[in-house]
């Protein structure tokens, strides 16, 4: 294509873009693709997960602004653009029974109304490909599930002039993918590689828990080679300092082991308006030559 390719990654919170598909985005940026992250919420209700920062009064009282600063650093590292959709974090309800979601939060918005904000951004940016979460949200956080819902509505509506006429000139993305990086084959392969090398695997307990759960494996359709950008991904993730402990399990598998054993990030092709052959190694397969 002579036109510049464009990729939009729709995520629920700041930090999701760095833990899901970040190396893919950095790879495409290096190839001249224009990449935009759409962040649905500000992450205001996210807990401070980095034990080194827990108890910091300034962070606790200014978590919204701190997370915006972290996002600014991460997007600079990845080389992507980024836009806030402006919704309020729903938090992750815990307990039995689960407490109600807070009034006004993202997950309680009318899906069709909320999707209008994403339609507007799609029509402004004009992406050829969109990545988002599957119907389970990747994991059942209410904001992740809502992200899926508005992404599906927006993908269908963005190209229809009769829908959201106030949102700008219609634009129809050609493909939509679900992030599927946390899949069983990858986890098992990396776990076994660590054990074989006499190293401690961070995935032992994770795999044990999976044995006790009914888990339907998703269909992985697309494997994007991006090992050269795993270090960039990790640097972007560490920029989200309130959420990520740099000494935590995210970083316990050496990059050289990851590059050797599992050098890709994985996706599930959910919608395509172009012909493509599965499995793919490129999110733009079927678009580049069309």
Backbone φ and ψ of 121, nearest 5°: -70, -40
pLDDT at residue 1 greater than cutoff 70: no
Strand 222-225 with 175-179, pairing: unpaired
Task: Write down the pLDDT at residue 166.
Answer: 97
What is the pLDDT of the chain when averaged over all its residues? Answer: 95
Domain 6-182+219-272 has CATH 3.30.565.10: no
Report pLDDT digits (tens) over 128-170: 999 999 999 988 899 999 999 999 999 999 999 999 999 999 9
Interacting residues of 177 by C-beta distance below 8 A, sequence separation 6+: 129, 130, 131, 132, 222, 267, 268, 269, 270, 283
The annotation places the binding site for Zn(2+) at 13, 16, 144
Report pLDDT digits (tens) over 64-75: 999 999 999 999
The annotation places the binding site at 13, 16, 144
> Closest Cα to residue 120, out of 177, 163, 69, 65?
163
Euclidean distance between CA atoms 126 and 167, whole angstroms: 12
**Would you list the domain boundaries of the chain?**
6-182+219-272, 184-217
Phi-psi label, residue 102: left if phi above 0, alpha if psi -120 to 50, beta otherwise: beta
- Examine residue 14 and say whether the peptide bond preceding it is cis (omega within 30 degrees of 0): no
Taking residues 232-246, report their average pLDDT: 96
Report pLDDT digits (tens) over 7-65: 999 999 999 999 999 999 999 999 999 999 999 999 999 889 999 999 999 999 999 99
pLDDT at residue 249 greater than cutoff 90: no
The proportion of the chain whose per-residue pLDDT surpasses 70, expressed as a percent, equals: 99
The proportion of the chain whose per-residue pLDDT surpasses 90, expressed as a percent, equals: 87
Q: Tokens 């990086």 correspond to what residue? A: 181
Backbone φ and ψ of 142, nearest 5°: -60, -35
């Amino acid at each position: 294509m002579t036109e510049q390719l464009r990729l939009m990654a729709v995520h629920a919170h700041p930090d999701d873009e760095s833990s899901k598909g970040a190396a893919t985005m950095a790879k495409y940026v290096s190839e001249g693709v224009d990449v935009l992250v759409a962040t649905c919420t500000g992450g205001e209700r996210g807990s401070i997960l980095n034990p080194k920062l827990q108890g910091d009064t300034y962070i606790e009282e200014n978590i919204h602004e701190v997370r915006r600063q972290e996002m600014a650093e991460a997007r600079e590292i990845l080389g992507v653009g980024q836009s806030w959709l402006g919704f309020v974090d729903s938090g992750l309800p815990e307990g039995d029974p689960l407490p109600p979601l807070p009034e006004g939060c993202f997950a309680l918005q009318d899906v069709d109304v909320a999707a209008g904000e994403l339609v507007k951004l799609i029509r402004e940016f004009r992406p050829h490909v969109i990545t988002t979460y599957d119907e389970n949200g990747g994991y059942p956080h209410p904001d992740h599930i809502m992200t899926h819902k508005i992404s599906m509505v927006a993908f269908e509506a963005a190209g229809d002039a009769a829908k959201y006429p106030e949102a700008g000139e219609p634009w129809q993305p050609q493909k939509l993918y679900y992030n599927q990086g946390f899949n069983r084959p990858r986890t098992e392969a990396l776990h076994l590689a660590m054990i074989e090398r006499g190293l401690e695997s961070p995935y032992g307990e994770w795999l044990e828990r999976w044995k006790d759960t009914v888990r339907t494996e998703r269909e992985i359709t697309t494997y994007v080679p991006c090992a050269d950008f795993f270090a960039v991904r990790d640097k972007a993730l560490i920029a989200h300092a309130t959420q990520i402990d740099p000494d935590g399990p995210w970083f316990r598998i050496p990059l050289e082991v990851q590059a050797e054993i599992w050098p890709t990030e994985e996706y599930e092709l959910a919608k395509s308006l172009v012909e493509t052959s599965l499995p793919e190694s490129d999110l733009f397969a079927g678009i580049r030559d069309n």
